[in-house]
């Protein structure tokens, strides 16, 4: 895995852009989503009122798009009513997030490195726009990302490549000199389908799941020595940075 990884990412030199998922990538938000889902699903009698487990959440919910999740969780319910549940869950998430949301270790150091090297960037998420904007605000990254792509505002959300392809187009970046940070199998599949290498964060999801989805490299957080080594190898030259 390591040899393939180095080879895959080394080909990106000189690095031009980095695309970021938000939930579970910029911040460890899954515990908040899990709590919101568990509470509301129990209220509506899902699974005969037995609270969902973290394993169920990871396997069936994490990284999913709300429209798809509504069908998976409530296959026999009117879709509009199922989507009302999803809206209520997002509202509860937004209520909980301000007191619980924390950045993944090393995020702000990485953002400064990206700014210093004048790399292009975008945030790409399946989260509703209101959630995404709240998370970026809480993390102090609203101004850092000139582009925010929302899956539901594309023709198809992740795991389809459309959101990442749209981001590349909007920031004017080549997939040959770009990579993606993702934490879910759904997001990794979207990046792979867009022909962009994906670095998977093992924030919450099992390593094997991320590997099987096609991640080129797995890291614990943004301080991982493996990531820092790769960035040093593929960073733009000083001259190239000054010309941007």
Cα distance between residue 145 and residue 72, in whole Å: 32
Cα distance between residue 153 and residue 10, in whole Å: 33
**DSSP string over 15-45:** P-EEEE--BTTTB--HHHHHHHHHHHHHHTT
By 3-state DSSP, what share of the chain in percent is helix, strand and coil, each rounded to 5?
55, 10, 35
Phi, psi of 157, deg, nearest 5: -85, 175
Cα distance between residue 27 and residue 108, in whole Å: 11
Residue 185 and residue 25 in contact, taking contact as beta carbons nearer than 8 Å:
no
Pair type for strands 178-182 and 217-219:
unpaired
Residues labelled catalytic: 21, 23
> What separation in angstroms does the CA of 187 have from each of 53, 85, 100, 197?
22, 23, 23, 12
Residue 87 and residue 127 in contact, taking contact as beta carbons nearer than 8 Å:
no
Burial zone of 75 (CB within 10 Å; 0-12 exposed, 13-18 middle, 19+ buried): exposed
Phi, psi of 18, deg, nearest 5: -130, 130
Reported as half-sphere exposure (CB side, CA atoms, 13 A), residue 175 has a value of: 14
């Amino acid at each position: 895995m390591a040899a393939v990884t180095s080879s895959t990412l080394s080909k990106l030199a000189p690095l031009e852009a980095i695309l970021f998922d938000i939930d579970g990538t910029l911040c460890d938000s899954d515990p908040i989503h899990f709590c919101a889902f568990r509470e509301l699903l129990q209220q509506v009698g899902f699974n005969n009122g037995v609270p969902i487990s973290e394993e169920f959440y990871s396997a069936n919910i994490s990284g999913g798009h709300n429209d798809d999740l509504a069908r998976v969780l409530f296959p026999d319910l009117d879709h509009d009513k199922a989507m009302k549940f999803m809206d209520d869950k997002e509202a509860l998430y937004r209520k909980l997030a301000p007191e619980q949301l924390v950045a993944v270790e090393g995020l702000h150091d990485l953002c400064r490195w990206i700014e210093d090297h004048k790399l292009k960037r975008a945030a790409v998420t399946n989260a509703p726009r209101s959630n995404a904007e709240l998370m970026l605000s809480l993390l102090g990254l609203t101004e850092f990302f000139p582009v925010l792509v929302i899956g539901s505002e594309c023709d198809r959300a992740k795991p389809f490549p459309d959101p990442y392809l749209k981001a590349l187009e909007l920031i004017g970046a080549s997939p040959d000199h770009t990579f993606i940070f993702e934490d879910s199998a759904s997001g990794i599949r979207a990046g792979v389908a867009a022909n962009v290498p994906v670095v998977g964060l093992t924030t919450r999801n099992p390593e094997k799941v991320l590997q099987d989805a096609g991640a080129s490299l797995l890291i614990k957080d943004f301080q991982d020595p493996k990531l820092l080594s790769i960035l040093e190898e593929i960073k733009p030259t000083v001259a190239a940075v000054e010309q941007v």
